[in-house]
Amino acid sequence: MKRGTLILEDGSEFDDFVFEAKTNTADKVGVPDEKAVDGFGLHRWVELNKIYASALIVSAYMEQYSHWNAVESLSS
């Protein structure tokens, strides 16, 4: 693994290990209120039918995973 820096919009910086980070990315990931619906019963403010994440932040990463149903590591 290599080192990298996560820089948040407020200027906070977090240095740690990264994997598969081949490019810089900027994104806003969030989910609108599911109770906000329009007159047709459709969710307001939703542009897509699911979230497409461009990054994943984990609090602890272990290459030697132990979940009974795992078939490969996150970095694989």
38-62: burial string, b at 16+ Cβ within 10 Å, e else:
eeeeeeeeeeeeeeeeeeeeeeeee
- In the chain, what are the domain boundaries? 33-57
**16 has which bridge partners?**
4
Q: Indicate whether this model's pTM tops 0.75.
A: no
Reported as a single tens digit per residue, the pLDDT across 13-69 is: 999 888 765 666 666 676 677 788 888 888 777 766 666 777 778 888 777 888 889
